[in-house]
């Protein structure tokens, strides 16, 4: 097991009941992105075979990122165990409450595999997240969300029984006869 300490956590999708299916509908994943601005930390991540990408945003400071994930269904088609998410006291933490920029430690399981060209590759599987600086995620309302308003409920005045037609239906029938 590899341990990554004190990294920024972004885009955490770690809800045990709702893995992210955006990129793979048949095998959704639990995932998060880790970030750093330190070149030394970047080198440490590369030393444990993580795929580090340099990002230069239009606004803000450049940073390095790694996307980590775990599939929700194992190769043998059994469900995988969800990601363990805890706080600094090792108490369970709601994974949906992790906001961008939270700081934490990441536990990875790594194994080697043979690439098609015969060389060895290393797979890193996200296994656990420990949050040490918790920025609580608060969803913002969307601009097109509903807002509270009055609701008017109208109960039917009469019911149709044995061929009886309510008065409104008679008016529609007469109007339809005039058209045709």
Domains and their CATH numbers in the chain: 2-133 (2.40.50.140)
Strand, coil or helix: 55: strand
pLDDT of 166 > 60? The answer is: no
What mean pLDDT is predicted for residues 81-99?
93
Strand, coil or helix: 49: coil
Give tens-digit pLDDT for 23-75. Answer: 888 889 999 999 999 999 999 999 999 999 999 999 989 999 999 999 998 88
pTM here is 0.72
Give tens-digit pLDDT for 102-154. Answer: 999 999 999 998 888 888 889 999 999 999 999 999 877 777 777 778 888 88
Confidence of residue 157 (pLDDT cuts 50, 70, 90): confident
Q: What is the pLDDT, as a whole number, of residue 14?
A: 93
- Cβ neighbours around 50 below 10 Å, total: 21
Q: Which tokens hold the place of 173?
A: 């029938």
């Amino acid at each position: 097991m590899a341990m990554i300490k004190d990294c920024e956590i972004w885009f955490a999708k770690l809800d045990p009941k709702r893995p992210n299916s955006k990129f793979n509908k048949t095998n959704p994943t639990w995932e998060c992105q880790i970030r750093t601005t330190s070149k030394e930390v970047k080198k440490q991540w590369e030393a444990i075979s993580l795929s580090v990408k340099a990002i230069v945003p239009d606004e803000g400071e450049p940073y390095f990122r790694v996307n980590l994930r775990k599939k929700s269904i194992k190769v043998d088609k059994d469900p995988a165990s969800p990601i363990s998410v805890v706080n600094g006291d090792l108490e369970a933490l709601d994974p949906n409450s992790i906001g961008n920029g939270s700081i934490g430690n990441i536990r990875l399981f790594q194994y080697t595999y043979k690439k098609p060209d015969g060389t060895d590759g290393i797979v890193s599987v996200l296994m656990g997240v420990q949050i040490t600086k918790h920025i609580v995620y608060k969803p913002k309302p969307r601009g097109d969300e509903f807002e509270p308003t009055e609701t008017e409920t109208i109960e039917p005045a009469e019911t149709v029984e044995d061929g009886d037609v309510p008065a409104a239906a008679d008016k529609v029938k007469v109007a339809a006869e005039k058209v045709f």
